[in-house]
Structures are given as structure tokens and as C-alpha cells.
């Protein structure tokens, strides 16, 4: 989602009867408040969540929304779909039509899915540079061995993209199940990593992203993130 950031003078000209040139006078007369403070420059940045008041009239008061959902199997990670239930269909929030998905999950993949109307936040969450660890529980068709741990730690070459995955941590829970932690989100990455060993992924469940965990959230349910969970502290 593209970030909506603009200069204060452009914002005022688009949301009032005043022109770009008029903004300097409005500023000098201290008639503009930005986030509760008198505006200080025509070049001051206004984002989609900046609170702007002109002559006592609120021009913008958008609020960021951060939601987590425990996605069930068979639900589409999309905002609209003519044939299937979407993750947005499971959410009750007055601003839900403004939300976009942060890191989609496949049709049959379950677990933690994040939604927001904040493009900057979603880019931060999705970027490998952020270092946020995504953790999955994986059920396999074939037995696991310690060989997987070393290969996952070293990285696996994907010929189609001509890349090698970043080091990932694999914890073997049983002969056919494991917990995988990684910082990337390449196309079908988890399935392709196990595919290196010709081992089919039968079930995939995302349990956490960074410090955001599914713990206590029932399947199909959603809730707003806390300030700490949304990493805005």
C-alpha cells in the first residue's frame, strides 16, 4: 500500500478553499494546528494519520488500525472474492473496508494474519530488513532428520529466483512435525524449503510474527493489537 505523505501547504489546498500561496499567511496567523500544535512550516509533512485543524475545523482525523486474525483453513487471504470466504468477512470493524493484508497466507495455511490501514507499518512488518521472525508449525508427509536443521541454517538455493534463503531455525518436534522460524516470506517459501528434501508439507500454521502471538485467540476470531504488539511504542 502506497504511503500517503504530502506537504502541509498541498494538504491545505486540497482540503480547503485556500490556495498553496495562502498557506503561508494562515501559518503566520497561527490558524493551522497539526497534531494539536501550531503548524510551523508549509513543508511540514502530513501523513494519512496526521490530525489537522484549520480555523477550528478538523480537516483530517484518521486513526490507524492494527488487527490480528486467527485464519482458518479454507479462507482466502483477500479483501474480496466472488466464490470463497475472505479474511475480511471474518472481521467486524467499522474501518474494515480500508484494511489491507500484511503477509498473506495460502488457502489451506492457518494461523496468524495481520491487517492494517497503515502502509508504512505493513512495509516494516513485511521487510526482511526489519529482522522480524515469523514462526510456523509444520506437519510433514515424511520423517525429519537432523540434516534438515543444518541445511535450513545455511540457506537453500531457489533456482527460479536465483537466490539463497536467509538462515532459518528449525526445531524438530517429532518425526513428522517441526517449528520453523525465518525472517523472509518468499513465494511458498516454507513448502519449497521442505521440498528440497522431497518432503511434502501437509499442514502449515503461523503462530507468531515478531512479538505478536496467536496465544489465546480462537480460530476464526480477531482482535485489535495492543500498542506493544504493533511495535509503535
- Structural domain spans, the chain: 6-60, 66-224
pLDDT tens-digit map of 168-215: 999 999 999 999 999 998 889 999 999 999 999 999 999 999 999 999
The alpha carbons of the chain give a radius of gyration, in whole angstroms, of 23
| Mean predicted lDDT score pLDDT of the chain | 93
Phi/psi of residue 27, each to 5°? -65, -45
Residues 6+ apart with CB under 8 A from 4: 47, 48, 119
pLDDT tens-digit map of 61-80: 988 999 999 999 999 999 88
Phi/psi of residue 24, each to 5°? -60, -45
Active-site option among 22, 81, 89, 106: 106
- What local confidence, expressed as pLDDT, does residue 3 receive? 54
CA–CA distance, 147 with 105 (Å, rounded to integer): 27
- What local confidence, expressed as pLDDT, does residue 142 receive? 98
Is there a catalytic annotation at residue 146?
A: no
Domain 6-60 in CATH 3.20.20.80: no
CA–CA distance, 154 with 149 (Å, rounded to integer): 9
Residue ranges for the chain with pLDDT beneath 50: 1, 233
Q: CATH second-level architecture of 66-224?
A: 2-Layer Sandwich (3.30)
pLDDT tens-digit map of 184-196: 988 899 999 999 9
- What local confidence, expressed as pLDDT, does residue 111 receive? 97
Amino acid at each position: 500500500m502506497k504511503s500517503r505523505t504530502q506537504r502541509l501547504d498541498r494538504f491545505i489546498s486540497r482540503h480547503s478553499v485556500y490556495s498553496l500561496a495562502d498557506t503561508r499567511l494562515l501559518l503566520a496567523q497561527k490558524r493551522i494546528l497539526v497534531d494539536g500544535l501550531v503548524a510551523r512550516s508549509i513543508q511540514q509533512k502530513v501523513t494519512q494519520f496526521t490530525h489537522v485543524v484549520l480555523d477550528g475545523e478538523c480537516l483530517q482525523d484518521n486513526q490507524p488500525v492494527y488487527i490480528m486474525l486467527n485464519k482458518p483453513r479454507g479462507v482466502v487471504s483477500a479483501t474480496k472474492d466472488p466464490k470463497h470466504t475472505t479474511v475480511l468477512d471474518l472481521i467486524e470493524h467499522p474501518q474494515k473496508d480500508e484494511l489491507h493484508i500484511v503477509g498473506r497466507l495460502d488457502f489451506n495455511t492457518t494461523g496468524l494474519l495481520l491487517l492494517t490501514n497503515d502502509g508504512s507499518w505493513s512495509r516494516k512488518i513485511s521487510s526482511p530488513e526489519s529482522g522480524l521472525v515469523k514462526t510456523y508449525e509444520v506437519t510433514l508427509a515424511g520423517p525429519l532428520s537432523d540434516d534438515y536443521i543444518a541445511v535450513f541454517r545455511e540457506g537453500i538455493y531457489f533456482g527460479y529466483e536465483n537466490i539463497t534463503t536467509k538462515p532459518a531455525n528449525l526445531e524438530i518436534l517429532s518425526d513428522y512435525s517441526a517449528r520453523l522460524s525465518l525472517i523472509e516470506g518468499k513465494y511458498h517459501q516454507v513448502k519449497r524449503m521442505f521440498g528440497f528434501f522431497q518432503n511434502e508439507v501437509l499442514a502449515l500454521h503461523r503462530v507468531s510474527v515478531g512479538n505478536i502471538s496467536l496465544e489465546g485467540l480462537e480460530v476464526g476470531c480477531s482482535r485489535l493489537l495492543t500498542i506493544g504488539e504493533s511495535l509503535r511504542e
